[in-house]
Amino acid sequence: MRKRKQIISTVVFISILTLLLAACGSDKDKENQAAQNGEKQAANKEEPYELTYLTTGDQAAKPLQPNDRIIAEINKRLNIKLTVKIVPEGSIDKINAAFASGDLPDVVSTYFPKNAVSQWIDEGIIIPLNDYLDDMPTFKKDIEELGLQWTAVDGKYNGYPFVSGINKSNYAVQYRGDWLEKLGISPPETLDDFYHALKAVANKDTYGFTTNKPNAGDQFGAFNFVFFAYGLPYGDYALDGNDNVIPIFEHPAFKQGIEYLRKLWDEKLIDPEFMAIDRPTKEQKFFQGKAAFMDGPLFRHLNRIETGVQKVDPAAKLAWIAPPAGPDGKRGMPQKPKGGILTSVTTAAKNPQKAAEFIEFLLSREGKDLLELGIEGLHYTKDGDTIHYKEDERAKDGFAENGWAHPLAWGNVTWPIDDDYLPQTEPQRERAVQSVEEASQYFVPNLVERRTAEEIELGSTVNDIYNQYFLNLVNGKLDIDKGIAELSGKWRQQGGDKILKAVNEAYKNSKK
């Protein structure tokens, strides 16, 4: 009996020992498995993708600051390590030089359509985004709602096409409202009124109207509102009696407009330097009282322009008019744009999906809020719908003063007018909005929606010819009839006929 008890005790002991050993083994296995899982998670955790962005800037933007907290926030949200390179506004030659040297960024924003961009597309340097559109809902929404399907090349979207002012405009004829009030002159409604107003304010120190030269390679169009008043129906081309496309200077409205402008020139009502000065110089002339009228954008510029004038003359008032009407009541000023800024992914992107995600972020409401307002609690606070801007903190990260945006919000994939963005602190908020509502009533359509390859290739050449003849027609160096005939012949000979053939084909196809 005693022996039996010993055997039972031994069996129980062995069983307990076995269970203990098994438990220890199980715990050890769990520890090993946990360690292996941790190693796998660490291995699977995606390292921040190093993404370089090369873009055009805007003269209203502040420079990027070291240790920018907005860039850090973008990095955190997208798991990237972002490097931003900004060239001055209009300096696309620097972007072209970078591409020519092979120094490609992951993402680039530049003006389109341009010969360089066409070359990048032909050479496959920029990647169509069609394969990534399912993950770019804002991109797809903008294309649909803004009618930007025409920007695709052979059905491929070679980047996000930001076309500013496609459905709204802030471009108007501006003037010294205080001067006209003192003279008892009503805001000009017609070309005749406009002439008499210029005549009344011009003197040996002041020109009636000033404007500025076009961008290199572009056609001068600041006085097109005169041609539209005389009946020019489109902003890009016209049609002859047989429904064929012709250049605008072969339409009767062009000659009538030149005759009107020649009168203004002869009576010294137009600034004779208009083809030699840039926009800041034009504005300085207006600020200093050297011109009573000028053309230009309002909206976010309205308060800046008025305060600029008031620094010289505290009693100054900025006003603007609808484009003057012609003999038949026709009028127009802003033209539908055929280009803008293209933000593309290049072949340098090792992770094009992540690069496309970055573009989508800049377009999204989340991205725009970050670039316009900043980080809540750090750059601003909210009290209901009221936003309180923390200007000291915003300045550390390059936000423009008085509630305006971060450097990445300017001249990239959007501008304030296109996002309906005005800070709540904007001192002339209602007038700024009003300027857009009024200017947008006078859009002039284009005959053909997009620029042809021939226009992109030869446009700079024929535009330079047009600009030189236009100036000489206005200043009297050329007889009007003979000058227009010479312009027509030379323009056609230097590439215009080739352009017209392509545009005429595009026009006919658009009617099918």
Domain ranges of the chain: 49-166+338-420, 171-333+441-510
How far is Cα 309 from Cα 158, in angstroms, rounded to an integer?
43
- 390-393: long-range contacts, CB 8 A cutoff, minimum separation 24: none
pLDDT at position 14, please?
39
Mean pLDDT across 481-509: 97
- Report the pLDDT value the prediction gives residue 11, as an integer from 0 to 100: 40
Residue 23, pLDDT > 50, answer no
Contact 171, 294 (CB under 8 A): no
Which among 291, 115, 303 is positioned nearest to 217, based on CA atoms? 115
pLDDT of 1 strictly over 50: no
What was the pLDDT predicted at 31? 54
Q: What letter represents residue 71's amino acid? A: I
Mean pLDDT score, 430-445? 94
Q: pLDDT tens digits for 136-155?
A: 999 999 999 988 999 999 99
Tell me how far apart the alpha carbons of residues 19 and 272 are, in angstroms, rounded to a whole number.
102
Q: Is 350 helix (H, G, I), strand (E, B) or coil?
A: coil
pLDDT in tens, 24-71: 455 555 455 554 544 444 444 689 999 999 988 776 778 888 899 999
Q: What is the pLDDT of residue 409?
A: 85
Distance CA 191, CA 174 (A): 15
User: What's the one-letter identity of residue 63?
Assistant: P
- Distance CA(477)–CA(463), nearest Å, equals 19
In this structure, what token pair is assigned to residue 458? 């030869």
Q: What are phi and psi of 479, to 5 degrees?
A: -65, 140
- Would you state the structure tokens that stand for residue 493, as one six-digit string? 């000979």
CA dist., res. 209 & res. 223, Å (int)? 11
Task: Check: pTM over 0.75? Answer yes or no.
Answer: yes
The model's pLDDT over 463-474, given as tens digits with 9 standing for 90+, comes to: 999 999 999 999
Q: What is the largest CA-CA distance in the chain?
A: 139
What was the pLDDT predicted at 8?
Answer: 40
Contact in structure between 49 and 79 (CB atoms under 8 Å) = yes
Rounded (10°) CA dihedral 100, 410, 296, 284: -90
Q: Is the peptide bond before 105 cis (omega within 30 degrees of 0)?
A: no
∠ CA(40), CA(45), CA(51), 5° rounding?
150
DSSP-derived secondary structure letter, 465: H
pLDDT per position as a tens digit, 177-233: 999 999 999 999 999 999 999 999 999 999 999 999 998 889 999 999 999 999 999
Task: Name which CATH class applies to 171-333+441-510.
Answer: alpha beta
| 246-300 pLDDT, tens digit each | 999 999 999 999 999 999 999 999 999 999 999 999 999 999 999 999 999 999 8
49-166+338-420 and 171-333+441-510 in the same fold? yes
- For residue 83, give the 3-state DSSP assignment: strand
Q: Identify the pLDDT of residue 32.
A: 53
pLDDT at 376 over 50: yes
CATH architecture group of domain 49-166+338-420? 3-Layer(aba) Sandwich (3.40)
- Residue spans of beta strands (DSSP E) within 113-236: 126-127, 160-162, 171-176, 207-210
* pLDDT value, residue 21: 41
| 373 φ/ψ angles, rounded to the nearest 5 degrees | -105, -35
Q: Which residue has the higher pLDDT, 179 or 420?
A: 179
DSSP state of 36: H
Question: What are the CA-CA distances from residue 259 to residues 264, 469, 476, 487 (Å)?
Answer: 9, 14, 10, 16
pLDDT of residue 411: 66
Q: How far apart are CA 377 and CA 389, in angstroms?
A: 10
pLDDT more than 90, % of the chain: 71
Q: Does pLDDT of 13 surpass 50? A: no
| Residue type at 216 in one-letter notation | A
| CA dist., res. 152 & res. 155, Å (int) | 5
Per residue in 100-115, pLDDT (tens digit) is: 888 899 999 988 888 8
